[in-house]
Amino acid sequence: MIGWWIAVLVLAIGAIGASMLATRTERYRLATVSLLPIGIALILGSTGNPLPGDVPGLVILLSAALVALATIAGSPLVTLVLSLASYPAPRGEHGGILVADDDSPLPKREILRGGTTIGYLERFAFIGSLMVWQPGAIAVIVAIKGLGRFAELENAAARERFIIGTLVSLLWAGLCAAALLVGR
């Protein structure tokens, strides 16, 4: 079964590259290939084919690859789901979304800036906390994110994007963590 885990490693590395390309070219559907190594790892681990403990190099490389995949592939996957969930919001010059308040004569303003960077950090912290068996840290991660964005969530479009983006991001990190932990 070591061959299957090596295949998961190779596929995970390929999926990292595909996700980076998806982000760069704005072809976010390309990131869906990331589901393949995660799915295979989940099937292997849940059918009694754990990672071979006598090959620590493979365990270390696969762990690093899955953490990187969780962190990197989450961004194009979140963007893809957001585009499927609603119309794409106009992007501001700092990466946020442009919204107009119905009751304000002011022009559109940019909110939720830095969401991509926050998402990378959120997924990295999420999977890291599960790898060190500290699931309670996830509540702290979500609380910090919610408190940090609270002032920007008065707009309905911002709330919707924040909730969908956060849930997809955390679900993806959770799947990657599960793929890693189920194989141990």
CA distance 144 to 140: 6
What does the buried/exposed string (b/e) look like for 21-60 if buried means 16 or more CB atoms within 10 Å of the residue's CB?
ebbeeeebebbbbbebbbebbbebbeeeeebeeeeeebbe
pTM of the model: 0.85
Average pLDDT over the chain reads: 86
CB 21 within 8 A of CB 31: no
DSSP 155: S
Q: What is the DSSP string of 58-94?
A: HHHHHHHHHHHHHHHHHHHHHHHHHHHHSPPPPB-TT
CB 169 within 8 A of CB 142: no
Q: What is the pLDDT of residues 102-133, one digit of tens each?
A: 665 555 666 666 778 889 999 999 999 998 99
Query: In this predicted structure, which of 61-65, 144-148, 171-175 has the lowest mean pLDDT?
Result: 144-148
Residue 148 clears pLDDT 70, i.e. is over it: yes
